[in-house]
């Protein structure tokens, strides 16, 4: 973000402290033994995991402040980074809904949550890195227009594929192929996203 905003990151030292706090909280999530039996995904069902989003959210606010004070130069790398943040936000919303309404482990909710956190967000981050580092690695820029088109296709596809898992297919059995009624409609929307 600072490279594309042409401005130094706001509060660089606090940003380093927030990264350290995120690392410590990640360790706390990993070491936590207060997991409910049958929880679909252990890290999303603990208070420590919810606290992990606090330093990350503050980092995102620092990036937004840096972008607001700078002269942002649009780039495919920047929009892919924003896509990773959007997918993490979808994962946060899903984790919070899992804390409020009980979720069983073998449901489509767990499958959709895994897809958002372990597939969608890292894919956006890797593609953003590829667009950013391509000139340094291969000596030439990747096509920016195709990068924007790729971003839009991936964002729409990931949202169509995962949002039904959090909503209409929430309690459906994981890996099920037989749906009826409204579940069939949500399954078709998710299939269109993939």
Res 98: pLDDT: 75
- Per-block mean pLDDT, blocks of 10 residues, the chain (194 long): 86 91 80 56 56 84 88 91 90 79 74 84 94 92 94 93 78 72 76 76
- Measure the CA–CA gap between 159 and 79, rounded to whole angstroms: 16
> What CA–CA distance (Å, rounded) separates 98 from 112?
12
What pLDDT sits at residue 189?
78
Cβ neighbours, 10 Å, residue 67: 18
pTM recorded for the entire structure: 0.77
Determine the pLDDT at residue 127. Answer: 95
173 forms beta bridges with 107
Q: What is the pLDDT of residue 44?
A: 46
């Amino acid at each position: 973000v600072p490279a594309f905003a042409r401005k130094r990151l706001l509060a660089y030292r606090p940003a380093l402290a927030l990264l350290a706090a995120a690392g410590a909280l990640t360790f706390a999530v990993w070491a936590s033994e207060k997991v409910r039996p049958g929880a679909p995904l252990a890290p999303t069902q603990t208070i420590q995991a919810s606290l992990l989003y606090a330093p990350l959210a503050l980092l995102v606010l620092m990036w937004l402040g840096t972008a607001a004070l700078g002269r942002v130069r649009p780039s495919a790398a920047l929009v892919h980074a924003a896509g990773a943040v959007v997918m993490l936000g979808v994962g946060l919303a899903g984790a919070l809904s899992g804390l409020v309404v009980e979720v069983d482990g073998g449901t489509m909710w767990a499958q959709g949550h895994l897809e958002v956190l372990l597939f969608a967000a890292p894919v956006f981050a890797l593609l953003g890195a590829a667009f950013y580092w391509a000139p340094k690695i291969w000596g030439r820029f990747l096509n920016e227009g195709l990068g924007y088109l790729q971003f839009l296709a991936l964002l729409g596809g990931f949202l169509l594929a995962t949002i039904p898992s959090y909503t209409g297919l929430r309690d459906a059995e994981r890996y099920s192929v037989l749906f009826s009624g409204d579940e069939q409609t949500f399954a078709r929307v998710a299939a269109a996203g993939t």
